[in-house]
């Protein structure tokens, strides 16, 4: 996708916030427990390579991604020695490439091992146990034992790790979490030899639950300064520092008169004289049509979106006339007011992860370290 360097819409990423979030997480972990930075989906919209560099400086010892191509991009960018784990499914025919690049893959089906062609370099695998998420993973003790036997008999494979993923770690009710944890511990007893890495923690788990028995935390959404959920915000062990701001500038300011309409479908009708501004951002940038009715900030004052969001533009109602070029804050701070991804998520009836992941490559990212 073409990046809009010549358009007055941009994202600022404060890398110091990411650094601080990692440092604060490390302080609450046992000394033997490493942080692996989750940088999938272009680092949740923040920019994978810049975030990975900062995470490494802050002490992250490895990385997690969703697809093999993300792992290859990290290797190509110079992350040559750090462990990189692909959390999603990888085709058996691509296993050779992963082995060559020393990229670890998730093993979720014993039959997948039979489909892998011979590799000249041992393939590092992390066995995923489905303890109740219902996505990827082996479910039975027999499957775990089958994996262990197959891998012990085949020098092409190295069982580097074993892990699971929690469905409700971001909730205060821990009953289901503890049921999953028990299933994982039971599953571990089916392995005759424990691998180097045993991990269960996403951000919520790493923030709220003891990691004494495990040696890796997959630090994702909270590395970027976002809470895993609204529900647990008030019990987090430290303040998260949001790293991403999204801003744009007014490209036209005009006065509407009673009876004037705005945007597709003419769904908005002015009932009095009012000032409005057109902003150069729309649903092709990730500001989807459901943003309609949400308010951005100008000089600390709320300016609501009126009418329907267009592909590349949208319109906001102003409290007064502003000059063209005035900055509008979509995510971030303006004067003494702040809009968080959480605020947008509530309006959209979704989660903060989706808000930042939706932000397209068309918006340029600028990085500050302070």
Nearest-angstrom CA–CA distance, 131 and 126: 15
Cα 167 to the center of its chain, rounded Å: 16
259 burial level (CB within 10 Å; 0-12, 13-18, 19+): exposed
Report yes or no: 138 and 110 within 8 Å, Cβ to Cβ. Answer: yes
Assess whether 268 carries a catalytic annotation. no
Nearest-angstrom CA–CA distance, 269 and 271: 6
Q: What does the DSSP assignment read for 46-79? A: T-HHHHHHHHHHHT--EEEESSHHHHHHHHHTT-
Nearest-angstrom CA–CA distance, 287 and 77: 30
Assess whether 264 carries a catalytic annotation. yes
Nearest-angstrom CA–CA distance, 157 and 123: 5
Nearest-angstrom CA–CA distance, 294 and 97: 46
Phi, psi of 123 (to 5 degrees): -90, 120
Tokens of 144: 């775990």
Residue for token pair 């992390």: 126
- The active-site residue, picked from 32, 182, 233, 264, is 264
- The active-site residue, picked from 27, 32, 40, 320, is 40
Q: What does the DSSP assignment read for 238-306? A: S-----EEEEEE-SEEEEE-TT-EESGGG-EE-SS-EEEEEES--GGGT--GGGTT-EEEETTEEEEEE
Q: Which of 224, 198, 221, 192 is nearest to 211 (CA)?
A: 198
The catalytic site residues sit at 40, 264
């Amino acid at each position: 996708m073409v990046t809009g360097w010549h358009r007055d819409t941009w994202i600022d990423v404060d890398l110091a916030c990411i650094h601080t979030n990692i440092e604060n997480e490390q302080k609450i972990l046992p000394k033997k427990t490493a942080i692996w930075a989750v940088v999938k989906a272009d680092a949740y919209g923040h920019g994978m390579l810049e975030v990975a560099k900062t995470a490494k400086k802050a002490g992250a010892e490895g990385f997690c991604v969703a697809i093999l191509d993300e792992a290859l991009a990290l290797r190509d960018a110079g992350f040559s020695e750090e462990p990189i784990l692909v959390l999603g499914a990888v085709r058996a025919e691509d296993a050779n490439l992963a082995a060559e690049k020393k990229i670890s893959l998730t093993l979720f089906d014993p039959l997948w091992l039979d489909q892998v062609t011979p590799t000249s370099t041992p393939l590092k695998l992390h066995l995923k146990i489905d303890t109740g998420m219902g996505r990827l993973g082996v479910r039975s003790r027999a499957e775990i034992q089958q994996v262990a036997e197959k891998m012990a008999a085949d020098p092409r494979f190295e069982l580097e790790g074993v892990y699971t993923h929690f469905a409700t770690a971001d909730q205060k009710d821990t009953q289901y979490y503890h049921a999953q944890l028990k299933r994982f511990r039971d599953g571990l007893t089916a392995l005759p030899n424990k691998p180097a890495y045993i991990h269960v923690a996403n951000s919520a788990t790493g923030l709220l639950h003891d990691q004494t028995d495990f040696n890796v935390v997959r630090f994702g959404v909270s590395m970027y300064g976002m809470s895993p959920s609204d529900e647990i915000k008030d019990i987090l062990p430290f303040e998260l520092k949001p790293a991403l701001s999204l801003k744009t500038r007014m490209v036209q300011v005009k006065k509407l008169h009673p009876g004037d309409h705005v945007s597709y479908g003419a769904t908005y009708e002015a009932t009095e004289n009012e000032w409005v501004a057109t902003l150069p951002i729309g649903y092709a940038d990730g500001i989807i049509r459901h943003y309609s009715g949400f308010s951005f900030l100008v000089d600390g004052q709320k300016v609501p979106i009126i009418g329907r969001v267009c592909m590349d533009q949208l319109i906001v109602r102003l409290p007064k006339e502003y000059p063209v070029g005035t900055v509008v804050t979509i995510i971030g701070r303006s004067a003494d007011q702040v809009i968080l991804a959480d605020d947008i998520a509530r309006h959209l009836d979704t989660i903060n992860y989706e808000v930042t992941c939706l932000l397209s490559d068309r918006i340029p990212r600028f990085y500050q370290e302070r």
